[in-house]
A and B are shown apart, each in its own frame.
Chain A
Amino acid sequence: GAGVSQSPSNKVTEKGKDVELRCDPISGHTALYWYRQSLGQGLEFLIYFQGNSAPDKSGLPSDRFSAERTGGSVSTLTIQRTQQEDSAVYLCASSSDSGGTDTQYFGPGTRLTVL
Chain B
Amino acid sequence: SQQGEEDPQALSIQEGENATMNCSYKTSINNLQWYRQNSGRGLVHLILIRSNEREKHSGRLRVTLDTSKKSSSLLITASRAADTASYFCATATTSGTYKYIFGTGTRLKVLA
Residues of A within 8 A of B (CB): 4, 31, 33, 35, 37, 39, 41-45, 48, 50, 55-56, 58-59, 89, 91, 93, 98-101, 103-109
Residues of B within 8 A of A (CB): 2, 4, 30-31, 33, 35, 40-45, 48, 50, 88, 90, 92-93, 97-105
Check B98–A55 contact: CB distance below 8 A: yes
Q: Is chain B's binding surface mostly helix, strand, loop or mixed?
A: strand
Which has the most chain B C-beta neighbours within 10 Å: A4, A39, A93, A107? A93
Name which residue of chain A comes closest to B93, CB basis: A100
Q: When chains A and B are docked, how far (Å) is the Cα of A37 from the Cα of B88?
A: 12
B38 nearest CB across to chain A (Å):
11
Partner of A106, one of B44, B92, B97: B44
Partner of B30, one of A58, A101, A107: A101
Q: When chains A and B are docked, how far (Å) is the Cα of A93 from the Cα of B50?
A: 20
